[in-house]
Structure 1
């Protein structure tokens, strides 16, 4: 075949790929997905890209997925990055150790190892691209494992401002669902798809000239048309005709003397196989069963022959141009050649060879995950030894790749004979795997099915605990309660820890579905059991559930007491293995609810520093910290965090956090006067707010959507949203969102003549003071609402004083505005102007231009003359236009730190760092990190 620099008929494709490589000098990332049928030339095109990149001195990472390796977590990217516990590079070796299960941390944490490995791999690529552009190639991703696909997706998302070209190749559909999702992600991020088309007849003629040294004659040209423009099949035809001696030269052309030719490449390969000695054919079939690229050592182990004999007997396959050798591995000349030989092996023999391959490879030292595909392809129903191996392999994969674990256990289950003694045990393991992999609905259905029939006693409690967890995640509180009550009907079967887990899960489900008092009762019962058993870890479970339940009822001081105790118990507990939560994260939430924002953010950062549970609660913790930035008016910092938190929540399928991100961004857009953006963001809140059952975070969603409506003049629409949410919470004893809902609802009620609603709201928030008397904004809220209803200016002035004690923007500025309005009506114009100026300062600092404009208009109506907004604002571009956080990010990046390192240093996410960098690049007019470093250097001299 022609070499990579002699690609035929691909001039347009070569120009496109060369342009993509060339653009990396601008410092921006690019993504190219190459799609085409087998043999169409994907690998040749990729090789030209690799050669071009290497000629430019780029860092190059190349990996290829192989058949029979879908159960090897991170197989493709680990190969591309050279990740191995035996790697001479310390970082690669450290990641390899994680993949081998070393330093895995708490085994009870879902997906923690997978997350850590992904983040380390992303950071490894970014580090390599810090000094020179990089190329990452992943070929044949239709065979890739799910962890590799996740890693590729995150590399593209997080390194969008790094000079990295990511190239993936695949065959056309049908494709696995996870590959389709990856392609969707790549396209959404601006990636390009290049679909390789069959060669034109003129190009096939040129290809034939390259192979034969002369142009094809008319009969040969007609015969080559059967290849359908597939260069591999066309070349194989030509070589077969040469080997069979049926070509003749006539003048300056070469033509055929016979028109007989196999109708497909598979038939052509089969014809070549007939000419091979039987020992060579046997070894070739063993090689095909092992894969498309295997070591001679593995072939020898499976064939049970000395390596020297294997080399000698395969030599004829090399001579027949069926095999090649690359990096000490035997490789088939093309995947189609491998497929043809593999399909020639009878199904029964193929199954037996896969089974023998698994046994031989494990005996030779391979781990179960490396040979699990062979076990799944080779074992038959009733193969108990294979079942045991698959279950062991599933345990090895449980932290690294939950979806692989599930696939292994499903196959193990399918191999069990009917009525097998271990059937229930394996079913229970499948349920746990489903929970870890996110298949919550199926997990609950499977658990219910087993519990509804006769089952092994030893799986009863584990299945009930798993079922309770699955039902809690689905907010199916009534069914969950039934399971808990049925389980407690025979309490002797439940260990204290099981009882606590069930009651805590029930408490959360009840609290989040609108029954916080019932949730509190269950959590208190769980705490009593945990304390009686002196089980610190389970006490943390119970205390956290109790904290959430009492907090929803507005008893914020009490919730903080429980949260502090849970965090202290967790810190002193040696049994971090069974700690399923991140107590410092929940402590941060409780501190925030008590207006202790500084302490809350310190708790969030401590949570991010913790090893156990960090991955599972990462998006929640980062989102909570972004919300804290929003609350104190640091909106330039909050916005990137909210965007990144929303993206992370979307990746996890967390609809609640996704909607919260939209809500806070809607508020910011409304306050800044960008109503078009606010409307677009608020569209994402329509579903959660219009359903019959509101979600537990509906308070902030309603506040955001109502604020946008009110800014457009739709006061009735805003009132309807707020009052519906208020009634929903009131019916469920939930006071958590009073600080969002009450002030606007009172003000709108009075403006629309609904005084009874305003009075109802004022009475309710007044009663809340007794539940959290030490929280400044709770007292401020009560005084503010009562003052508005009664026209009591003194109450409103006192409300502003209490709000001033907390750093919260909306509460402070809103209380000042309300008090100023009543003061102005009473003729106290100077006092009103002072409070309005106080509100204006907060709004301007946050960049809330629309709200600031409203206050300026009120000041002018009082005869005051506020300064122009422009005199207080930062420039729109240049170093002085950067926020404090943007400057900090810029300084760290200019020092050569990766996104991941910056994120760890600043306690934000790599997504957030990337968002900040986008803003920085735009403001400074730079396109890459080198240019950014230059600007930073000149700016700080």
Structure 2
């Protein structure tokens, strides 16, 4: 049958697919999903797209997922891209080695999924640099979870590459495949749903197959196919083979009124002439999958591959089997499904178990055998349990979700009361935790702890429960679990006790009780140091530095951070930590105004091999916030957007809120109140309820700033005061630098001098806690100067603020001092400080804030010069920011987005954001044209 035969009635869908290929030819990326029942024509549609792409000289990578392969991590993507140690492409070979588990440099605790995905994205992007790429993944309803993650990452991270991603699926796919389709659709993917063919299209299809129009009786018979082209075509061939079709003048008619009730029944009927041995071999092949090697069939049937091939000859002649590469494949998956489903379930189970035994004996990969064990083993099969647990350990770093599936089956196979039942159940809990299924992990851990269980598992279960509760931000429950565990006095090992206390410290601090958090962290530190446990010492120090930092003891926090980072750098014991000490060092350095050192620490954190996977989005977000703080808003904005997207994927509401808050401040500073308002509307949750969120300070600052800019001084004041009162009640001074200046200024403006004085006194007391931090001292001087209307402290505050590169602190102090100088009649000095603030605002692009300063300068009789933020042209090479130029130059060198991201310490999403702006400013459509502009501009 030609592809045209099954593509009858698909003109509209073919037109959409052809448009996607034309767009690809023009260098534009897109994603296309084709959905339809088996036999509806998905594969023929794909073949049409592939033929079109190849005729245009495009690179095509194609893979198809198969039944019984969901436990093979990255299976279908590896097949599509040729990821094998034997690949001629060194990069594909290197990824293949990682998938084979031979990368001995990998730390044991690292989840290598994300590294593999990163390398896959890089590989695809490298291919796109040479010519447009079509990536096809068929039947994602059978794909493993790691492959689905890779497909999503490729589509998301390469929106500017000449890449067409094409996936196919049956309706109502499994949950993970359905999530992929939803995520792709949210990113702009088009979905083609192939409906059954109309009656007229079925008649047309029959005419093409038969070479003549079907007669009335045959047309009525074809209606039983329900518009499925494969079923209709197979029905016609079966009728022809059985000799019940008669040709008349200009048409073909049937002499029977009965046909099998389904395509499956038709397949079984076509098998009747085959020998019993051939049918048995077809059953074995069907149990192994829809595309299998003769070697595997031979291993299960205990015959030589040559003999197997000879005995299957009749099946090839009957058009049941075909051969592709070195595999025997069923002519269609519906043919495979029909044979497989026709095997009685008990026999199917037995065949799967026999297949597993034979493949094990032949030395097959554990993960290749796991599906058959899961389908064939019965309760009490200890050998299957052991094999599944070994396979789970093998998959743990590459595909944690596969590990969960394997261990669930192993757990189900053990009879109640088996000596290993609790052990396997505990392994399921830990696997759920690693796979991110934290709610189920905590539920199962709690259930096990509540019933009698093996004593040796008590500590691992409690540690896992604490970790799962921490990842769900269920702080109150975490605190209670730790208290109960410590009170039980069941002989907790020192590392477990220290870890629990460290986790409790974080929970206490996150629930705004930093003093209690400090106490728990100090207990953890004492236990860890006494035990000489480096990893737990780092845990404890990290909890401690966060707790004391929230109390405003920034220099002390930095001391703990330096010690933790030094200990981690000098000890192999901490390689199992899901922590990144250099990230926390960066945070502590930033809090001490050591911005350049902080950003260097973030870069070192991104370079580290261990802990980075857990903290990469946090680290990139912290660096984007640093860009905001120093006034590099053109770089901060895309980084904040990318960080917010990563936080959504990670399920971290705190990071999402922080991203939005900083973006609100940028939009407000630029005068874009509409955008600021839209973003602020998403920040209701962190400011709702009696207990404000952990990061409510930055959110309140941003939203209050917008309210004040729109003239709602009272609303801004109320919001800031509420946040201030909550922090004061818990002795949380972390957000003083954000809240205090605006709160004092607003309190004085609306007549609440007592509140302004209270705030000034509080920030003055904070100086004793961090006397060496310039902005802490500047803050106290600013607030006191505003309350007391004293000029000299305000001038001193400006001098301190100049010691840092921080925009808001420096320009804000200059504005406050200028106001007091003006009242004191020192207009020239006031104008000089306002000019200083103006330069900082214009450099950042904060046009609204700059406009406020310009108005004040004019009131002093000073005519400011041309707006500094407009000195950069709107288009052309000179319009690019320094980061945009750096991105452009690296892209021009041929680096992939991932390589650019690693070189500049940003995310691939941020690279894409910069490239969108670069393309628009330079008027170029793709990387090739960008490279030409770069080479011309830097001559």
Do both proteins adopt the same fold according to a TM-score greater than 0.5, normalized to the shorter chain? yes
Q: Distance in 2 between matches of 1:580 and 1:162?
A: 34
Q: Distance in 2 between matches of 1:724 and 1:91?
A: 56
Q: Contact 2:578/2:614 (CA < 8 Å) preserved in 1?
A: no
From 363, 366, 391, give the equivalent of 2:364: 366
How far the C-alpha of 1:177 sits from its partner, in A, is 2.1
Per the alignment, residue 41 of structure 1 pairs with 41
Q: Distance in 2 between matches of 1:750 and 1:408?
A: 65
Relative distance call for 1:210 and 1:104 in structure 2 (3 A) is farther
Per the alignment, residue 145 of structure 2 pairs with 146
Structure 2 unmatched ranges of 5 or more: none
From 337, 340, 365, give the equivalent of 2:338: 340
Per the alignment, residue 653 of structure 1 pairs with 651
1:204 and 2:202 matched:
yes
Q: Distance in 1 between matches of 2:869 and 2:222?
A: 75
Relative distance call for 1:6 and 1:707 in structure 2 (3 A) is same
How far the C-alpha of 1:591 sits from its partner, in A, is 0.4
How far the C-alpha of 1:106 sits from its partner, in A, is 5.6
How far the C-alpha of 1:540 sits from its partner, in A, is 1.2
Per the alignment, residue 726 of structure 1 pairs with 724
Q: Distance in 2 between matches of 1:101 and 1:446?
A: 30
Q: Distance in 2 between matches of 1:60 and 1:219?
A: 44
Q: Contact 1:524/1:546 (CA < 8 Å) preserved in 2?
A: yes
How far the C-alpha of 1:673 sits from its partner, in A, is 0.7
Q: Distance in 1 between matches of 2:609 and 2:107?
A: 12
Q: Contact 1:405/1:433 (CA < 8 Å) preserved in 2?
A: yes
Per the alignment, residue 820 of structure 1 pairs with 818
Q: Contact 1:4/1:45 (CA < 8 Å) preserved in 2?
A: no
From 713, 716, 730, give the equivalent of 2:714: 716
Within a 5 Å distance, the mapping from 1:157-556 to structure 2 comes to: 157-173=156-172, 175-489=173-487, 493-556=491-554
Which has the larger displacement, 225-234 or 126-135? 225-234
Per the alignment, residue 10 of structure 2 pairs with 10
- CA RMSD of superposed structures (Å): 1.5
Which has the larger displacement, 200-209 or 663-672? 200-209
Deviations 1:334-369 (A, max 9, x none): 111111111100000111111111221122222121
Q: Contact 1:26/1:928 (CA < 8 Å) preserved in 2?
A: no
Per the alignment, residue 673 of structure 2 pairs with 675
Within a 5 Å distance, the mapping from 1:576-587 to structure 2 comes to: 576-587=574-585
3-state SS, counterpart of residue 112 of structure 2 = helix
Which has the larger displacement, 529-538 or 296-305? 529-538
1:56 and 2:56 matched:
yes
Q: Distance in 2 between matches of 1:358 and 1:716?
A: 72
Deviations 1:401-454 (A, max 9, x none): 111111111111111111111121112111111211222222222112211222
| TM-score, with length taken from structure 2 | 0.98
Relative distance call for 1:6 and 1:538 in structure 2 (3 A) is closer
Deviations 1:468-520 (A, max 9, x none): 22222333344333333333346572222112111111111111111111111
Q: Contact 1:563/1:590 (CA < 8 Å) preserved in 2?
A: yes
1:703 and 2:713 matched:
no
Deviations 1:302-357 (A, max 9, x none): 12222122112211111111111111111111111111111100000111111111
Relative distance call for 1:882 and 1:152 in structure 2 (3 A) is same
Relative distance call for 1:151 and 1:478 in structure 2 (3 A) is same
From 908, 916, 937, give the equivalent of 2:935: 937
How far the C-alpha of 1:868 sits from its partner, in A, is 2.7
Q: Distance in 1 between matches of 2:17 and 2:915?
A: 27
Relative distance call for 1:5 and 1:591 in structure 2 (3 A) is farther
Within a 5 Å distance, the mapping from 1:780-791 to structure 2 comes to: 780-791=778-789
Q: Distance in 2 between matches of 1:15 and 1:450?
A: 57
Q: Contact 1:106/1:577 (CA < 8 Å) preserved in 2?
A: no
Per the alignment, residue 20 of structure 2 pairs with 20
Deviations 1:679-711 (A, max 9, x none): 111111111211332221111111111111111
3-state SS, counterpart of residue 312 of structure 2 = helix
Q: Contact 2:842/2:868 (CA < 8 Å) preserved in 1?
A: no
Q: Distance in 2 between matches of 1:684 and 1:478?
A: 26
Q: Contact 2:5/2:208 (CA < 8 Å) preserved in 1?
A: no
Q: Contact 1:4/1:47 (CA < 8 Å) preserved in 2?
A: no
* Greater relative contact order, per chain length (Cα 8 Å cut-off, separation 6+): 1
Q: Distance in 2 between matches of 1:819 and 1:934?
A: 50
Q: Distance in 2 between matches of 1:880 and 1:918?
A: 16
How far the C-alpha of 1:176 sits from its partner, in A, is 1.9
Q: Distance in 2 between matches of 1:105 and 1:614?
A: 15
Which has the larger displacement, 83-92 or 512-521? 83-92
Q: Contact 1:105/1:612 (CA < 8 Å) preserved in 2?
A: no
Q: Distance in 2 between matches of 1:704 and 1:601?
A: 23
3-state SS, counterpart of residue 194 of structure 1 = strand
Q: How many residues align?
A: 939
Q: Distance in 1 between matches of 2:652 and 2:572?
A: 31
How far the C-alpha of 1:251 sits from its partner, in A, is 1.3
Relative distance call for 1:104 and 1:593 in structure 2 (3 A) is farther
Q: Distance in 2 between matches of 1:374 and 1:683?
A: 51
Q: Distance in 2 between matches of 1:491 and 1:88?
A: 59
Q: Distance in 2 between matches of 1:339 and 1:774?
A: 73
| TM-score, with length taken from structure 1 | 0.98
From 757, 760, 763, give the equivalent of 2:761: 763
